[in-house]
Amino acid sequence: MPNVTFQPAGRTVEVAPGVTVLEAARRADVPIRNECGGHGVCGRCVVEIRRGEVERRPARHTPPAGKDLACRCVITGQDVEVFVPAESRQVETEVTIRQVEALPQAFPPAGAVVEKVSLQLAPPSLDDNLADAERLVRKLQKWREEDNYSISLRLLRDLPLELRHAEWNPEVILSVEPWGRRVLRAGPPRGRALCLAAVDVGTTTVKARLLAPGAHRVASCYNSQTMFGPDVISRIVHCQRDEEQGYADLQLRVVGDINRLLGELVRESGLERSDVWGVVVSGNTTMMHLLLGMYPIWIRREPYVGCAYLLPSVSPRDVGLKINPEGRIFCLPSVSSYVGADITAGVLATGLADREKPSALIDLGTNGEIVVGCRDFLVCCSASAGPAFEGGASASGSRALPGAIDSVCGGERVSWETIGGAAPVGICGTGYIDLLAVLLKEGIMDKTGKFAPGAPGVRRLDDDTLEYLFVSAEEAGRDDDIVLTQADVDNLIRAKGAIYAAGNVLLESLGMTWSDLEAIMLAGGFGERLNKDNAVTIGLLPDVPRERIEFVGNTSLAGALMAAQDATGYWRTREIARSMTYFELSTHPGFMDQFVSACFLPHTDPERFPTVTGAG
């Protein structure tokens, strides 16, 4: 079998012919950047084949001259030497830290999912000879109106010594459970803070926030499962491809990401991992399955059934999360295989289920979900939007991090602004929304999103392919041009079409229209600088009075945070999940029609967007 050597790492791996250079790199443990799952779309996996011949597959993204895309090069019979340039190397996806407002309360607040209490127990005597454990429970029962406490065998074994070390004044840490409370620790005061964490496992981005005294940072990184595919379906396919290994790969990746984020956060706050006693996790159904190592393959097969939606709290040992090993992980509940915990968290965070009049929550993640409802009803559906609005799988896409272009203006010359004013490194979701709207208004592309040949900035790559040069390499904070390809535009249009069509189908099923909604809340991690007019111009959002459109940020993380701080919020997500009615769009007769008519800028029916098209 041929050998593939990676430089400058100097690692060699033996692979069978037919394996791609990208896959060989994975096996050689030389991770190469890749955000599209090896489909030749993102153009991140640029390498140089220095020795030997490979078979080259066609790619949507053309690499620079003399370079190749690792995912498009297939090993034949020959030994190959591959040079991985610095910009293609990805030891670990970078962690970004963003300042947010500090939480007001002291930690942990009373009623959080994990609580700490200092107790004064009466020492045992001949008159009061209750066993140590029962003595502790008796005291706990008085502390909270709660009868049921559970102490694990592991804890029981140490309990007599711990209580006596504490001189009968133990510090007790407890977690909430559906049946009562679980004692996680009882012993002498640790003299350390007890903190919690909220985590949002997105298909494209993983975010975490620490709930600790003074903590005011959100850490995020790309979900490194992305190397196995950009969306949940391709991840599930990976599980099937290589059964045991496949889903172990995915689980290890996401657990690794969370561990890295939490590691950064505790370090920044001067804490230790063992200070984290509880983690509340939110994410879509597939992400929850993959995090817990539950086999997800039936999620993508009719009738689309997951392993579990209402999940029990679990031990970090069983998942591999590096927090206090006696701590607990609380997974928020999902509604269906395609409406996950991120949505129940979103409903909690936005208060949708408490509103008097119907409103909508649109979560613009890799899977776009829409919930319509109020305190009387909740209905939801899901539309596969793809990672385009999160900057994934696009030629110059970026998460919303410093240097990401998040705002674009038209005029004589198309101008832009970046997050933090840094030199541009890519385009994030709001940047894409603006860019589409601007190019449309300036006539640089038509209403199907096709570039106009000869328009300013539009250049021809070959006979059939045009692309828009947005920021040249000289101006950019990176080595190559920041561009918008035709494939990017098509993806964005499909994504926005899927979202709008899904919302329309849901509303029509309710006998409602967009204008019946009091508020349209847009959630997502794509940057905060959404230009509402531009989002309406491209038909992502309906043409309603702009004040009804609200940008609510990452509600998945916000909901996880709320649930962590207040266990009643955690219980509320379970009620929300149980009360939501799910509409399956894949079998809905009207969806495809709505989708095709929404894959146009702004829409095939101009009357739906009167302020954009001028139609009445």
Partner 1 sequence: MAVPDVKENFSGTINEVTIGATSEEGGTRTSTVTIGGETGYPMLGFEAEYPHPPAFALEISTAGVEGWHDECRKHLADVAGDLGAWAAKCEEWGADMICLCLDAAHPDNEGRSPQQCADDVKRVLEATGLPLLVWGTDVDEVDNNVLPKCTQAAAGENCLFGTAKEDNYRTIAASCLADNHKVLAEAPSDINLSKQLHILLRDVGVDLADMVMHPTTGALGFGMVYIYTTIERGRIAALSGDRLLQQPVLVNIGKEIGRVKEAVSPAQADPQWGSHEVRAPLWESASAISYVESGAELLVLRNPEALRQAKTAIESMWP
Is the Cβ of residue 161 or residue 592 nearer to partner 1 in the bound state? Answer: 592
For residue 418, give both structure tokens.
Answer: 């970046």
Which positions from 404 to 443 touch partner 1 by CB under 8 A, shown as an x/- string?
----------------------------------------
Residue 9 lies near partner 1 (rule: CB under 8 A): no
- Contact assessment for residue 120 and residue 92, using Cβ atoms and an 8 Å cutoff: no
Closest approach, Cβ 543 to partner 1, in A, equals 16
Closest approach, Cβ 370 to partner 1, in A, equals 21
Closest approach, Cβ 448 to partner 1, in A, equals 6
Closest approach, Cβ 467 to partner 1, in A, equals 16
Strand pairing partners for 93? none
Closest approach, Cβ 613 to partner 1, in A, equals 9
Residue 452 lies near partner 1 (rule: CB under 8 A): yes
Is the Cβ of residue 397 or residue 497 nearer to partner 1 in the bound state? Answer: 497
Cα–Cα distance, 272 to 269 (Å, whole number) = 9
| Among residues 62, 240, 465, 604, the one that binds partner 1 under rule CB under 8 A | 604
Helix axes 232-241, 285-292, angle to 10 degrees: 40
Which region, judged by CB under 8 A, interacts with partner 1, from 39-47, 233-241, 282-290, 604-612? 604-612
- In terms of DSSP H, where are the helices of 269-309? 285-292
Closest approach, Cβ 233 to partner 1, in A, equals 25
| Among residues 412, 463, 474, 547, the one that binds partner 1 under rule CB under 8 A | 463
3-state secondary structure of 227: helix
Residue 596 lies near partner 1 (rule: CB under 8 A): yes
If DSSP states are collapsed to H, E and C, what string results for 341-397? HHHHHHHHHHCHHHCCCCEEEEEECCEEEEEEECCCCEEEEEEECCHHHHCCCCCCE
Residue 490 lies near partner 1 (rule: CB under 8 A): no
For residue 437, give both structure tokens.
Answer: 């709207």
Strand pairing partners for 426? 404
Which region, judged by CB under 8 A, interacts with partner 1, from 84-92, 366-374, 425-433, 591-599? 591-599
Q: Which residue has the tokens 């289920």?
A: 353
Residue 593 lies near partner 1 (rule: CB under 8 A): yes
Residue 597 lies near partner 1 (rule: CB under 8 A): yes
Residue 201: what residue type? V
Which of these, 351, 322, 364, 294, lies nearest to 540 by C-alpha position? 364
Between the alpha carbon of residue 285 and those of residues 194, 209, 342, 364, the distances in Å are 29, 21, 8, 15
- Contact assessment for residue 440 and residue 448, using Cβ atoms and an 8 Å cutoff: no
Is the Cβ of residue 255 or residue 440 nearer to partner 1 in the bound state? Answer: 440
Q: Provide the 10 A C-beta neighbour count for residue 428.
A: 28
Which region, judged by CB under 8 A, interacts with partner 1, from 62-70, 369-377, 506-514, 594-602? 594-602
Which region, judged by CB under 8 A, interacts with partner 1, from 367-375, 412-420, 477-485, 592-600? 592-600
Is the four-CA dihedral 103, 205, 96, 410 of positive or negative sign?
Answer: negative
Closest approach, Cβ 537 to partner 1, in A, equals 15
| Among residues 447, 459, 529, 574, the one that binds partner 1 under rule CB under 8 A | 447
Cα–Cα distance, 428 to 442 (Å, whole number) = 21
Which region, judged by CB under 8 A, interacts with partner 1, from 168-176, 332-340, 565-573, 597-605? 597-605
The β-bridge relationship of strands 580-583 and 378-384 is parallel
| Among residues 450, 460, 546, 578, the one that binds partner 1 under rule CB under 8 A | 450
**Residues sharing a CB contact under 8 Å with residue 345, sequence separation 6 or more, in sequence order:** 200, 282, 332, 555, 556, 557, 558, 559, 560, 562, 563, 573
| Among residues 600, 608, 609, 612, the one that binds partner 1 under rule CB under 8 A | 600
Is the Cβ of residue 461 or residue 596 nearer to partner 1 in the bound state? Answer: 596
Is the Cβ of residue 426 or residue 449 nearer to partner 1 in the bound state? Answer: 449
Cα–Cα distance, 368 to 496 (Å, whole number) = 9
Closest approach, Cβ 349 to partner 1, in A, equals 36
Which region, judged by CB under 8 A, interacts with partner 1, from 96-104, 350-358, 445-453, 565-573? 445-453
Size of residue set near partner 1 by CB under 8 A: 14
Is the Cβ of residue 228 or residue 591 nearer to partner 1 in the bound state? Answer: 591
Between the alpha carbon of residue 294 and those of residues 83, 308, 318, 493, the distances in Å are 37, 9, 12, 33
Residue 606 lies near partner 1 (rule: CB under 8 A): yes
Which of these, 536, 545, 553, 534, lies nearest to 416 by C-alpha position? 534
Closest approach, Cβ 436 to partner 1, in A, equals 16
Residue 611 lies near partner 1 (rule: CB under 8 A): no
Q: Which residue has the tokens 């597939």?
A: 286
Closest approach, Cβ 605 to partner 1, in A, equals 8
Which region, judged by CB under 8 A, interacts with partner 1, from 13-21, 208-216, 522-530, 600-608? 600-608
Closest approach, Cβ 610 to partner 1, in A, equals 15
For residue 378, give both structure tokens.
Answer: 């909740």
Which region, judged by CB under 8 A, interacts with partner 1, from 91-99, 187-195, 446-454, 570-578? 446-454
Residue spans of beta strands (DSSP E) within 452-505 = 458-460, 466-471, 482-485
| Among residues 446, 533, 566, 584, the one that binds partner 1 under rule CB under 8 A | 446
Residue 146 lies near partner 1 (rule: CB under 8 A): no
**Residues sharing a CB contact under 8 Å with residue 380, sequence separation 6 or more, in sequence order:** 335, 339, 343, 369, 370, 371, 372, 506, 580, 581, 582, 583
- Is cis: bond before 303, omega within 30 of 0? yes
Closest approach, Cβ 443 to partner 1, in A, equals 9
- Contact assessment for residue 134 and residue 143, using Cβ atoms and an 8 Å cutoff: no
Closest approach, Cβ 452 to partner 1, in A, equals 7
Dihedral angle, C-alpha 233, 234, 237, 238, nearest 10 ° = -140
Closest approach, Cβ 463 to partner 1, in A, equals 7
* Terminal alpha carbon distance of the chain: 68
Closest approach, Cβ 384 to partner 1, in A, equals 19
Is the Cβ of residue 38 or residue 449 nearer to partner 1 in the bound state? Answer: 449
Q: Which residues form the interface with partner 1 (CB under 8 A)?
A: 446-448, 450, 452-453, 463, 593, 596-597, 600, 604-606
